A and B are shown apart, each in its own frame.
Chain A
């Protein structure tokens, strides 16, 4: 079987700290894969190896392979910039660029990467991305406003639109609802269920309940080690590992 993302003996170090330990993980194409675990166990770090954004941080070292659709993104001839263009990312803190309008926020990736030919193409793609992110109806009359007046949930959907505009195949989400109110969270989760038809979504969460609600597959990461992974139903109904059971029943972390 061909996987969207596959890690082979993945190890990550922050200086001398060994934070990801020999992880072999397969993430199938399409659908939502939840990467769950308590805070500080390496979920965000691992997510950032998938688009090689981890190297922005000082003193990090990655060993092993991360394969996107079979190709190792850490092999020397790969340009990380090319990888990142094909992988969208959404962050824990809703971070639309505050000095750009709603329209510009969605357009910026396309514009700076020179991916559109004309203003009409750009308009069309911005509208498409905002619709896809279920935000169009709420912002279509104020595309030239700045995002500061949007709610947290709207900001986060704007960030999703910014990522979708690049037409990625994979969407990485680092606790996208951690700073969002419950209503906004429900909307985002609903959106994810629509998006999973077309995209491979990796959802990092520290809430087992969110993983159970939203995901098709789940991986449980604990202190840098992958304890267990598989279809969500199976993992939640009959976990193979005692730690997993403790975690999903709330006895851990």
Chain B
């Protein structure tokens, strides 16, 4: 027969409360970061004014670093995104082929790979032979960082499309390429673009792979992709090691700029992407 447990509802409530509490604890750091960076960064930017965004380092600004971040993000996306889309499509279309299976597995390993090793690899194959740090080397390292994210997200987004749409495309007498790129890829666009954004956001925010590749450039704007370039995260990393409070202030300001760029790119794009309703 049924046994009566007088604590049943209390246990349920306690359980829900605990889970709710743990959830709050888990996302708390995010809000703390937003809060601290704004609190410490905003006064610096307000005090220095527009020179902070446009001036060189000795003028009290981080203009070259902002330009460098955009340059490297642009270059690495330009090369990495199309390449990653192709790789993702390939592993989706050929999931049982030897190459397809390996690609998927390797991409997932690449996603979790320590990024500093990417930097060392690029240093060995580009920086040492060229004899200099360069924007090119930095961009190459970032391509390796963003590629697996974009490719894996593409693969997963494509896999989420019901098989019947693939059949419908082929039943119209379309070639494989047309079914893939004109029918299925647009259906998966939300997932694919999420991957692209995460990849780009990763590339824009990375520090470790740039340590031995991009070099750094803060007293003048970048002029060539074969010369060293600075980025915001790299600058923050270098300034935090300095003993000067002035440098720390610049680092806080730069952190706020990085955070705002990140939020400004990520949130509107993610919200504006319409989900394809099946």
B96 contacts which chain A residues (CB < 8 A)? 58
Known: A56-B166, A97-B165, A97-B187. A109 touches B276 (CB 8 A): no
A contacts with B, residue count (CB < 8 A): 30
B170 in complex: contacting residue of A82, A84, A98, A146, CB < 8 Å? A84
Can you name the residue of chain B whose Cβ is closest to the Cβ of A89?
B171
- How far apart are the CA atoms of A162 and B168 in the complex, in Å? 10
Q: In the complex, how many angstroms separate the beta carbon of A107 from the nearest chain B beta carbon?
A: 11
Interface string of B251-278 (1 = CB under 8 A from A): 0000000000000000000000000111
From the candidates A92, A93, A113, A159, name the one contacting B173 in the complex (CB within 8 A). Answer: A113
Which chain B positions have C-beta within 8 A of A56?
A: 163, 166-167, 170
Interface residues on B, range: 20 to 34
A113 touches B187 (CB 8 A): no
Residues on the A chain within 8 Å of B159, using CB: none
Residues B165 and A108 in contact, CB atoms below 8 Å apart: no
- Which residues on B sit within 8 Å (CB–CB) of A98? 187, 276-278
A54-92 contact mask (Cβ, 8 Å, vs B): 1 or 0: 001010000000000000000000000111111111011
30 contacts between A and B (CB under 8 A): A53-B170, A53-B171, A56-B163, A58-B96, A84-B172, A84-B173, A85-B172, A87-B171, A88-B171, A89-B167, A89-B168, A89-B171, A91-B164, A93-B162, A95-B165, A97-B183, A97-B187, A99-B186, A108-B172, A108-B183, A109-B172, A109-B173, A112-B174, A113-B172, A113-B173, A146-B277, A162-B168, A162-B172, A163-B171, A163-B172
Residues of chain A touching chain B, judged by Cβ–Cβ distance below 8 Å, are 51, 53, 56, 58, 81-89, 91-93, 95, 97-99, 108-109, 112-113, 146, 148, 159, 162-163, 166
B residues adjacent to A (C-beta < 8 A): 96, 162-168, 170-175, 178, 182-183, 186-187, 189, 276-278
